[in-house]
Amino acid sequence: MFTGDYMVQVQLRIPEQTVNEIDEWVNEGKFRSRSDAVKTIIALYEEKMKTMDFFKMLMKRSGEVEEKPEMLIPLENVED
């Protein structure tokens, strides 16, 4: 997941309840450590943002195709 990246240590302040929840996840074996939990949560957020950007692009393209249907490529012309 983070291979090849140089890791930098940072300090952050988060609510105690959130730390308790993360500790609970670690104790349940969902994460190896607090650090692993935070890195995973950030990675999931980044993936969510990429998905949202992709969705917005699809919606924009859908609108463009509605206005100009000749832009569509017939499915028989799409290779597997």
**9 assigned to some structural domain:** no
Is 3 a residue whose pLDDT tops 70? no
Q: What is the CA radius of gyration of the chain?
A: 21
Count how many domains the chain has: 1
Q: What domain range includes position 36?
A: 16-69
Q: Is residue 57 part of a domain?
A: yes
Please check whether residue 75 lies inside any domain of the structure: no
- Domain assignment present for residue 3? The answer is no
Domain annotation covers residue 80: no
DSSP string, the chain: --TTPPP--------HHHHHHHHHHHHTTSSSSHHHHHHHHHHHHHHHHHHHHHHHHHHHHHHHHHH-GGGPPPGGG---
Supply the pLDDT for residue 56.
93
Share of the chain above pLDDT 90, in %: 61
pLDDT at 67 over 60: yes
pLDDT in tens, 10-38: 999 999 999 999 999 999 999 999 999 99
Q: How many CB atoms lie under 10 A from the CB of residue 2?
A: 11
Do the domain assignments include residue 49?
Answer: yes
